[in-house]
Amino acid sequence: MALASDRPIQPISLSFEAFLAQYGDDSRYELIDGELFDLEPTGPHEQVAAAIARWLNYDIVQQGADYFIPHRCLIKPLANQTGFRPDVIVLDRAALPQEPLWASQPVVTLGSSIKFVAEVVSSNWQNDYARKLEDYALLGIPEYWIADYQGLGGEFFIGRPKQPTLTVCILNSEGRYDRQLLRGDQRITSAVFPNLNLTAKVILGLDESARFSG
């Protein structure tokens, strides 16, 4: 998720309920530990997010799965003062009746409703690689992609020299993510979308020649 800066735009700490009442319908804002952040993604950032959604939507149709990608959605993790706006989220339609807020707000609180999340990295890469990784694992989200198309992440996360990297995180039986770092022509192995036949550079927007088939 792209943050305009690393500083909150409002000094007063907000609860999730207050954030939802004031900013729930405004996709510009995200709440992290009570701090309100203005989201201002760049054009290339949006291209990468759109590419991920496009390929996943195609695979959902091919599978005949009862999943969908909402246009807007908030994730409320266990922390009460946090509401994440993922760049791409895949929901299980059959699980949504169990969601306490879904009927009135596009908010999910249960990991069982979420099949997949992707974040496109920008200036706040620490949140994508650390904070959200931890919270998404605690929720039990089966798969989480970190699409670092500019190679902004720290060397601890993407190695040296830094370069565009797709990190595919698959939840294991211990409730932790096993991470796979992919670059260039390396192929993606997805647990939720096993029929995907894509390389890292396609997802990262570095190869526009890929086309749907089948």
Q: How confident is the model at residue 28, as a pLDDT?
A: 78
pLDDT at 9: 57
The CATH number given to whatever domain includes residue 124 is 3.90.1570.10
> Can you give the pLDDT of all 214 residues of the chain as single tens digits?
544 444 455 567 899 999 999 988 887 788 999 998 877 778 999 999 999 999 999 999 999 999 999 999 999 998 779 999 999 999 999 999 999 999 999 999 999 999 999 999 988 888 899 999 999 999 999 999 999 999 999 999 999 999 999 999 999 999 999 999 999 999 999 999 999 999 999 999 876 665 555 5
**Is 34 inside any structural domain?**
no
Per-residue model confidence (pLDDT) at position 38 = 77
Burial 56-73 (b: 16+ CB within 10 A, else e): bebbbeeeeeebebeeeb
How confident is the model at residue 3, as a pLDDT? 42
Domain that holds residue 121: 42-74+86-203
State the pLDDT at residue 209.
Answer: 60
Q: Are 187 and 202 in contact (CB under 8 A)?
A: no
Residue type, 68: F
- CA distances from residue 27 to 2, 56, 72, 106, 173 in whole angstroms, order as listed: 12, 21, 7, 11, 34
Strand 107-108 and strand 143-148: the pairing is unpaired
Task: Please indicate, yes or no, if residue 20 is contained in any of the structural domains.
Answer: no
Is residue 159 assigned to a domain?
Answer: yes
Domain count, the chain: 1
C-alpha count within 13 angstroms, C-beta hemisphere, residue 96: 17
Strand partners, 145: 118, 168
If one counts every other C-beta atom within 10 angstroms of the C-beta of residue 9, the result is 13
55 within some domain: yes
Q: How many residues does the chain have?
A: 214
User: pLDDT value at position 182?
Assistant: 97
- Does 11 map to a domain? no
Q: Which amino acid is at 173?
A: S
- Alpha helices in 39-195, H assignment, sequence order: 43-63, 125-126, 132-139, 155-158
What is the model's pLDDT at position 97?
97
> Looking at residue 157, what is its pLDDT?
96
Domain contains 31: no
